[in-house]
Each structure stands twice: as structure tokens, then as C-alpha cells.
Homo-oligomer: A and B are copies of this chain.
């Protein structure tokens, strides 16, 4: 836990730090921000979460991007309830970001598929589908299947940013509907 940079004392500086962390998550393979938790409402009700890989962070559009297998459980969960969350924790900068998002699946573009390294393509596709029973591993036929590769767009509705400084904890909330102007919250 680092001492809080003086700039974090104002909510807007916390928002700058948030988008810097998200950008590092997209580009730095070892950044903890590359592996957020995606929370969704489970098929039978209640909440569930899994680790995902952050593929894009567009501040102007306030949109985060993930990839998924269209046959995975989360694809169905997103279709049934698009309101979810992406949670980031960066121990190095003592920053936690809770992003309330509206999720949507869309087919990938040919360019997006081209950019997936060939070694990584096999995780999209395969039979049986992810999460299905596999009593005999020999019966699993892997991908790739471009038709199963889908892009998850997460429109950021709110960022709840928490900086756990040694001296004090700072927390602020930024709402899309308020143009992401910040409001300080009790930590």
C-alpha cells in the first residue's frame, strides 16, 4: 500500500488514476488490472463472478471490452440481465475500482478475430461447451470456432473508486449520467 499521492485528494484526480489503471490493464500483461472480476446475475438468481481479461478501455465512450465464448454461461446471463460489474484491484497503487456496467454481446469483427493470437484462438469454440460436464477428457474436441468468439461491450454507468492510502482512505463515485463528475463518498 503506497502513500496516497496528494493529487488523489480531489475526486477528479482519482478518476484520472482510474482510467490510467484501466489503460495499463489493456496493454500490460502483468498488470493486475488485466484480470478483473466480472459479476453477473446467475441463471437461477443470485450473483456470480469470474475472472476475465480486459481487452479494451475507451475513456471517450466510457466502454470496456472483453472477449468470450458465445456458448459460455456468462453469455446467457448477460442476455438475461445486462446490469453487471467489473471489479479491479491494483495492490501497487492501492486502488480499487468498482465499475457498474451495462453488458452486451456482439459478434466480433474480422479484424478483431485476426488480432487474437493463433495459440489463444482454441479457447473459443470446442465441444462440449465451457462449463458442461466432461467425464472423459478424451471426448473433448477443442476449438477454434470464429462463430463462437464474441465481444462483450461493457458500458460504464458508474465508477466507484477507492484509494486505500496509509494515512486515509479516499472514495469517490463518478456517474455517466452526471458526465462523470465526481462526488466524494465515505470510505
Which of A's residues lie within 8 Å of B, judged by CB?
A: 35, 37, 39-42, 45-51, 81-85, 87, 89, 91, 96, 98, 100, 123, 126, 128-135, 137, 140, 160, 169, 171, 183-187
* Given A37-B37, A37-B49, CB of A42 within 8 Å of CB of B83: yes
CB distance from A80 to the nearest CB of B (A): 11
Contact A100 B48, beta carbon cutoff 8 Å: yes
Q: List 8 A-B contacts (CB under 8 A).
A: A39-B39, A42-B100, A45-B83, A46-B100, A47-B84, A49-B49, A130-B186, A133-B186
Contact A47 B89, beta carbon cutoff 8 Å: no
A187 to B143, CA, bound (A): 12
CB distance from A122 to the nearest CB of B (A): 10
A183 to B132, CA, bound (A): 10
A87 to B35, CA, bound (A): 12
Partner of A184, one of B49, B100, B137: B137
A187 to B89, CA, bound (A): 25
Contact A47 B131, beta carbon cutoff 8 Å: no
Contact B50 A129, beta carbon cutoff 8 Å: no
CB distance from A105 to the nearest CB of B (A): 16
Q: Which residues of B contact A140 (CB under 8 A)?
A: 186
CB distance from A33 to the nearest CB of B (A): 13
Contact B81 A46, beta carbon cutoff 8 Å: yes
A37 to B37, CA, bound (A): 7
Q: Which residues of B contact A87 (CB under 8 A)?
A: 37, 49-51
